[in-house]
Amino acid sequence: MSRFAYVNSGFLPHRDACVHIEDRGFQFGDAVYEVWGVRDGHLLDEQGHFDRLYRSLDQLDILFERSQYSLLVTIHELLRRNRIRNGLVYLQISRGVAPRDHAFPQANIAPTVVLTAKRFNFDAAAQRAEHGIRVITQDDERWGRCDIKSVNLLPNVLAKQAAREEGAYEAWLVDGSGLVTEGSSTTAWIVSRDGELITRPLDNHILPGITRKTVIAIAKSMSIPLVERAFSPEEAHSSREAFITSASSFVMPVVQIDDKIIANGTPGSLSLSLRNEYLRAQ
């Protein structure tokens, strides 16, 4: 079956879809993006991802006039054309096309909009969750505005690659003070010996995860104590549980960090119940 993508204002066969060589996303990483999980045809955490998208655009002064509703209609049409009911939607919006110059173009240019959709094997992810994943730690070498979901992902790419080369699923990034910021594409969490759920507070050093926000709401509704503070890899090594969250992995238990096995090496009960609640709530 052919696969379709959407570029600017039209649907194209995926293999023919492309952007201009002077697109500022391509040349400078001057672009933002979002990823939605899709289950049974519904966008997971739909509004949260739209809110973050418009905030990222605003923070970078990318003038984007299309409404959320118009984007949503296009996303559903893309899912329909690709016959996807369970998968992932990727949306990227760059500042647009202009002769190469670091500063913003003088003339008002139209942002470039790209949408793709793909099937995602949620059953394989569920199996992974049953066993838990391994993460490694890496230095956080990113810039100071990680709260903006921009496509400047080179440090994240290198960290994820280092993880893959060590047979791990994710890399947790560690800042200059020896504290975990987040995963290369996920939010990092631990459960303390006292049963407190711990994740780093939001600031410029981490992306405000939409799954994070939903999991915090679920934890509150389950009366699970939550503390937003940074933690070190050493504290994580001796924690009761650890897990990651993201739009594509939901809540994914972590059973090993570097060469340290967490607790008894099997997914923690709180991680698994948060995963179940997250899926049930959607």
**Residue 244 corresponds to which tokens in the numbers above?**
């990651």
Helix axes 46-59, 68-81, angle to 10 degrees: 120
Q: Is 220 a catalytic residue?
A: no
Residue 156 CB, shortest distance to ligand PMP, in Å, is 6
Query: Which one, 136 or 207, has the nearer CB to ligand PMP?
Result: 207
Interface stretch with ligand PMP, choices 124-132, 181-189, 230-238, 256-264 (CB under 6 A): 181-189
Do 27 and 88 meet the contact criterion of CB atoms below 8 Å apart?
no
**Residue 138 corresponds to which tokens in the numbers above?**
């890496």
Residue 148 CB, shortest distance to ligand PMP, in Å, is 11
Residue 60 CB, shortest distance to ligand PMP, in Å, is 16
Residue 185 touches ligand PMP, criterion: CB under 6 A: yes
Q: Which of 149, 160, 220, 260 is catalytic?
A: 149
Distance of CA 207 to the CA centre of its chain: 8
Task: Report the residue from 159, 247, 255, 257 that binds ligand PMP according to the rule CB under 6 A.
Answer: 247
Q: Is the Cα torsion angle 50, 52, 53, 59 positive or negative in sign?
A: positive
Binders of ligand PMP in range 202-221 (CB under 6 A): 207, 209-212
The amino acid at 196: E
Query: Which one, 113 or 252, has the nearer CB to ligand PMP?
Result: 252
Do 233 and 174 meet the contact criterion of CB atoms below 8 Å apart?
yes
Tell me which DSSP letter residue 66 carries. Answer: -
Residue ranges binding ligand PMP (CB under 6 A): 35, 156, 182, 185-187, 207, 209-212, 245-247
Q: Which residues are catalytic?
A: 149
